[in-house]
Amino acid sequence: MRLFEFLLLVALLPFILIFLIQADNQTFWLILFSIATAVLFCIHLIVEGYRWQMLLAYILIPILLLFSFVSLAFGSFDTPSWARILGIGLGMLFFVIAITLPTIFPIFKLPKPTGPFAVGSTIFMVSNNMPGEYLADVYDVVVHAWYPAKSVTGKRAPYFATAPFPWGWLRHVRTHAVLDAPFANNEPFPVLIFCHGGGFVAIQNTVLMQELASHGYVVFSCSHLYDSAVTVYPNGRFNNRSIFQAWKEMQPVLADNNHAFKTASGLLYKNGGQNKSLNEKRAIMRQVFAENKIALDVINRRVRDITAVINHLTNINKNTSASPFSGRLDMNRLGILGHSNGGAVAVNVAMHDVRVQAVINMDGYLFGDVFDGGLKRPFLTLNKAGDQGRDDVIYEQAENSAYSVTIQGASHFNFMDIYLWMPLLNSKFLGPIDPQRAQEIINHFTRAFFDKHLRDMEFSLLDNPSNEYPEVLFQSRNT
């Protein structure tokens, strides 16, 4: 909770209770708390800015000021005790909710990146003119970028600028990246592309993005229109039209696919499914994921987004353009990673785009023809316990180095920044592992993997199970 938010809420409690006081000095206290509350309210709005979590406080303040003005101007009224008690009770209820909401949704601080570089950040757009079968419009892909920067002072980038409700409070969170900071004076840096989860947002893994940038990577995260909870454009315009709103007419097909998904998932993960042969697993995975036409169109559409972005980065890197990325990207050292559906996208891109040199799937199911042949690029899968079997087909068919990292005690949401968004609700969404510990594991294995396969640096972390991380189940195979 921010300073003036806290002081404002502290001032509201005695302001409510003062209406119960029947004393000669009540007028003094009414004047004092009316002035204090009004001043703190104005300072809060001007200095810190409003957010929807404070809405009940914003409603309560003018009501209290009105009651105070009436009482001071016309004197106290002979109010029945039941009405006074009811009014105070409602005021206290509003006050409790006014405190609860900003506590549940705090203005949090991000962990500081550990690398030697400062971090810069910017946003730009890339046109995707390769529409899919079900969604055939041409549109712009919004790309968020983090990169190694010079150590300069400047405005720190907001976590999620100009986002609409309910994301709006995240604009008040400041990252460790400086907006449009100049690049660090070094040789071109390796490039990473991040794919967010289905229905999530491009900034969902900002902690990891900043960490990688501080260690010398240029990281780009694409906001996939219709498959993102909200896409916010650089000019402040936004689109939060769900992909399922766009496909209302396809609900019966979705229902059939969902039934097949649950049926085959049970075959794969329950009743000894983990002991099935590779061919049996491949058949199940194809039944669920390779033949789901709607999911395939979503994945393929996102693959085209990524392809358009890679093409754009390749072009601006070659040209002496005004782009800050011109000449600063080592496109021969290109990696890709993704969470959930984004992990499926990352693997699909790596299967078909020879420019990608390494890929990470973060707790994501796989779709399409990825089960038909071996992945020719180094592959790391990061999973929660119980799901590690779903990448067996890819892992066992890999034609390059492959690693499986299972974080015991993690949930699907431990692989993103949500532990910072609503810390009091972490027990509802996250696994029992300490979320900061999970973040540390994700950071270390991600960086070790890309450092090894994009920078030819050796890490014992990827050789054998590590005593440093006893909660990790580690497997590797090198071809």
The tens digit of pLDDT for each residue in 399-450 reads 899 999 999 999 999 999 999 999 988 888 899 999 999 999 999 999 999 9
Same domain for 225 and 343, yes or no, is: yes
Specify the number of domains making up the chain: 2
Residue 182 sits at φ, ψ, to 5 deg, of: -70, 150
80 and 226, same domain (yes or no): no
For residue 250, pLDDT over 60 is answered with no
Residue range 361-390: average pLDDT? 79
For residue 213, pLDDT over 90 is answered with yes
Instruction: Please indicate, yes or no, whether residues 260 and 344 belong to a single structural domain of this protein.
Output: yes
DSSP tag of 183: B
| pLDDT exceeds 70 at position 23 | no
d(CA 115, CA 425): 30
Mean pLDDT to the nearest integer, 299-315: 91
Please indicate, yes or no, if residue 113 is contained in any of the structural domains.
Answer: no
Place of tokens 């949500």: 418
Task: Check whether residue 198 and residue 232 sit in a common domain.
Answer: yes
Q: How far apart are CA 94 and CA 384, in angstroms?
A: 40
Give the CATH number, domain containing residue 460: 3.40.50.1820
Structural domain contains residue 238: yes
Helix locations, 372-463, DSSP H: 392-397, 418-421, 426-429, 435-455
Please tell me the predicted confidence (pLDDT) of residue 45. Answer: 95
Structural domain boundaries enclosing 34? 3-104
Separation between Cα atoms, residue 464 and residue 78, nearest integer Å:
79
CA–CA separation, 378 and 354 (whole Å): 12
pLDDT at 253: 47
Whether residue 322 has pLDDT greater than 70: yes
Looking up tokens 């029992």 gives 432
362 beta partners: 339, 382
285 plus 396 within the same structural domain:
yes
Residue-level pLDDT at 258: 60
Q: Is residue 471's pLDDT more than 90?
A: yes
434 assigned to some structural domain: yes
Residues 281 and 422 in one domain: yes
Lookup: tokens for 62: 């003018």
DSSP-derived letter for residue 197 is P
Q: Which carries the bigger pLDDT value, residue 166 or residue 172?
A: 172
When mean pLDDT is compared over 1-5, 243-247, 274-278, 358-362, the highest value belongs to: 358-362
Q: Are 87 and 70 in contact (CB under 8 A)?
A: no
DSSP 8-state assignment for residue 358: E
Whether residues 67 and 124 fall in one domain: no
Average pLDDT, the chain: 84
Would you state the pLDDT for residue 338?
97
Q: Same structural domain for residues 292 and 427? A: yes
pTM of the complete model: 0.86
CA dist 381 to 270, 347, 364, 431, Å? 21, 10, 9, 18
pLDDT value at 389 more than 70:
no
Tell me the CA distances in angstroms from 242 to 223, 246, 358, 395, one per residue in order. 13, 7, 31, 33
Residues 70 and 167 in one domain: no
Residue 45 lies in a domain: yes
In a domain, 112, yes or no: no
pLDDT at 387: 61
Domain membership flag for residue 110: no
Strand 189-195 to 174-179 pairing: unpaired
CA-to-CA separations, 26 to 18, 80, 314, in angstroms, rounded:
7, 18, 71
Dist CA 453 CA 333 (whole Å): 9
154 and 52, same structural domain?
Answer: no
Q: Which of 268, 246, 10 is nearest to 132 (CA)?
A: 246
| Best mean pLDDT range from 13-17, 19-23, 94-98, 253-257 | 94-98
Q: How far apart, in whole angstroms, are the C-alpha atoms of residue 475 and residue 467?
A: 14
249 pLDDT exceeds 50? no
To 10 degrees, what angle do helices 3-17 and 26-43 make?
A: 160
Q: For residue range 124-154, list pLDDT tens digits in order.
A: 999 877 655 555 556 789 999 999 999 878 8
Least reliable range by pLDDT among 264-268, 370-374, 423-427, 468-472: 264-268
| 97 and 126 inside one domain | no
Q: How many angstroms separate the Cα of 288 from the Cα of each of 86, 260, 369, 376, 390?
A: 57, 6, 12, 23, 11
* The amino acid at 327: G
Beta-bridged to residue 126, according to DSSP, are: 141
Average pLDDT, stretch 321-338? 92
CA angle, corner 71, sides to 66 and 76, nearest 5? Answer: 145
| Closest to 209 measured CA to CA, from 194, 197, 227, 223 | 194
Name the one residue in this structure whose structure tokens are 């921010």: 2
The answer to whether residue 226 sits within a structural domain is yes
Average pLDDT over residues 3-21: 86
Residues in the chain: 479
- The SS3 assignment for 190 reads strand
Contacts of 71 (CB under 8 A, 6+ apart): 19, 30, 77
Q: Which of 72, 104, 136 is the last residue of a domain?
A: 104
Backbone phi, psi, residue 177, to 5°? -95, 140
Shared domain check, 99 and 123: no
Q: Please give the pLDDT value at position 152.
A: 78
The span from the CA of 378 to the CA of 400, in Å, is 5
Tell me the β-bridge partners of 124.
143
Q: Which positions ≥6 away from 129 have C-beta within 8 Å? A: 138, 308
Cis peptide before 470 (omega within 30 of 0): no
In a domain, 109, yes or no: no
